Amino acid sequence: MSGKTRVAILGGGDVAQHTYIPGTVRQAAAGAFEVVALCDMVPGRAESLACRYGIPRHTTRFDDLLADPGIDAIVNLTPPTFHAEAIVRSVEAGKHVYSEKTIATTLTDADRAIEAARRAGKVLAVAPALMTHPDLREVQRLIASGIIGKVCYVRARGSHPGPAWLLDYRTDPTWFYQPGAGPVVDLAIYPLTYITAFLGPAKRVFAFSGIAIPEREVRAGEARGKTIRVGIDDNTQILLDFGEACFAHIDATFVVFSSKGPRCEIAGSRGVINLAAEPDDPPFEVFIDDPDRAFRGWVTPEKVYRGRLNPPREPRDQVEWSLASGVGHFVRAIEGTEELILRPEHARHVLEIILGAYASATDGHARDLVTTF
């Protein structure tokens, strides 16, 4: 491959329209890579989006992307039930793949996708891209430095009122409330990803889960006024055991309409790190209890002030970070200028936690976790 990496986008649904297409095109405009094609099976949607964002080629056929020698990499934004198949077919066609979460819907399919990429010698990266964010990388470094001592307990939020309630949701959100989706896959996957990045693989999972609000009315977008019968649990509470009496609690719900608490608290033997939920707050704060230095209290790291870096951090390629920034990281991993952070083995471990949580909630027994990364 010579010149810029040529990227195609597979899927034009809500996450593509809200996040990935605009974010990926902004990175391409800054010179990071090229976006050369867009595929969506809904008639007219690929053409409309390609026109809007200046993407030169569009199609309704996935096979067209696979057969195109002018495509080096595919961003897989299909529904989760198709992720593994899309990954396998893409790498076998000689394309690198960045896949939206989850890597698959079963561990067998996750293994199949990872092995296919390995055999083909292609880079496989899997969202979410949170651990490419500089703030979370800094929190990871602080935990590893021992500033709060041994981590004992983590509490994290993976909840909101659900897509049917959101006023900026454009497409029909029914599928979010059906098997294969739900708040664990849609929301809790974010804290599950960064908590395991901070602490390493979990050893056991236990969960309570059920449907708290069985019907939802869509408030906005093309399905406004529609009543959705909820077919997947909308209220799940997950407990993780990391060994040595280190535990984590993650809520995963479509029943929390607002909250004033931090999005994550990491409690250690000598302090606490809080990750802020509100954009105007400092991204993270540290509570330090150090009697030897006669210091006890909350500290905002020197480079963080009023929700902004101090001094401000220059955005990479003049593009502010978003979840689509994972695509830029993926391209740099292809080109060999960055080590891949968004590893598929990590995504597989998070998937095992999710599947184990649902199994535990069904029969009331904790599940041992066997995958690592």
Say if residue 170 is in the same domain as residue 63.
no
Instruction: Choose the weakest-confidence range: 27-31, 115-119, 167-171, 194-198.
Output: 167-171
Cα(40)–Cα(142) distance, rounded to whole angstroms?
42
In a domain, 369, yes or no: no
Say if residue 157 is in the same domain as residue 290.
yes
Say if residue 136 is in the same domain as residue 125.
no
Say if residue 185 is in the same domain as residue 112.
no
| Contact yes or no for 113/104 (Cβ under 8 A) | yes
Taking CA atoms, 15 is separated from 22, 175, 258, in Å, by: 10, 13, 22
Tell me what the mean pLDDT of segment 153-166 comes to: 96
Say if residue 168 is in the same domain as residue 190.
yes
Cα(140)–Cα(203) distance, rounded to whole angstroms?
20
Say if residue 333 is in the same domain as residue 192.
no
In a domain, 345, yes or no: no
In a domain, 167, yes or no: yes
**Sign of the torsion angle spanned by Cα atoms 114, 120, 121, 123:** negative
In a domain, 368, yes or no: no
Q: How many domains does the chain have?
A: 2
Please report which confidence band the pLDDT of residue 306 belongs to, taking 50, 70 and 90 as the band edges. Answer: very low
Tell me what the mean pLDDT of segment 88-99 comes to: 99
Say if residue 144 is in the same domain as residue 212.
yes
Please report which confidence band the pLDDT of residue 14 belongs to, taking 50, 70 and 90 as the band edges. Answer: confident
Cα(237)–Cα(24) distance, rounded to whole angstroms?
34
In a domain, 230, yes or no: yes
In a domain, 252, yes or no: yes
- Structural domain of 221: 131-312+351-363
Q: Considering the chain, what is the average pLDDT of its residues?
A: 93
Tell me what the mean pLDDT of segment 234-244 comes to: 99
pLDDT computed for residue 303 by the predictor: 53
In a domain, 289, yes or no: yes
Say if residue 157 is in the same domain as residue 47.
no
Say if residue 226 is in the same domain as residue 304.
yes
In a domain, 124, yes or no: yes
pLDDT computed for residue 314 by the predictor: 47
For residue 80, the domain's CATH number is 3.40.50.720
Say if residue 148 is in the same domain as residue 284.
yes
For residue 137, the domain's CATH number is 3.30.360.10
Say if residue 229 is in the same domain as residue 356.
yes
User: Does the pLDDT at position 169 exceed 50?
Assistant: yes
The three-state DSSP-derived secondary structure of the chain is CCCCCEEEEECCCHHHHHHHHHHHHHHHHCCCCEEEEEECCCCCHHHHHHHHHCCCEEECCHHHHHHCCCCCEEEECCCHHHHHHHHHHHHHCCCEEEECCCCCCCHHHHHHHHHHHHHHCCCEEECCCHHHCHHHHHHHHHHHHCCCCCEEEEEEEEECCCHHHCCCCCCCCHHHHCCCCCHHHHHHHHHHHHHHHHHCCCCEEEEEEECCCCEEECCCHHHCCCEEECCCCCEEEEEEECCCCCEEEEEEECCCCCCCCCCEEEEECCEEEEECCCCCCCCEEEEEEEHHHCEEEEECCCCEECCEECCCCCCHHHCCCCCCHHHHHHHHHHHCCCCCCCCHHHHHHHHHHHHHHHHHHHHCCCEECCCCC
Say if residue 328 is in the same domain as residue 306.
no
Other beta carbons within 10 angstroms of residue 257's beta carbon come to 10
Other beta carbons within 10 angstroms of residue 261's beta carbon come to 10
Tell me what the mean pLDDT of segment 113-132 comes to: 98
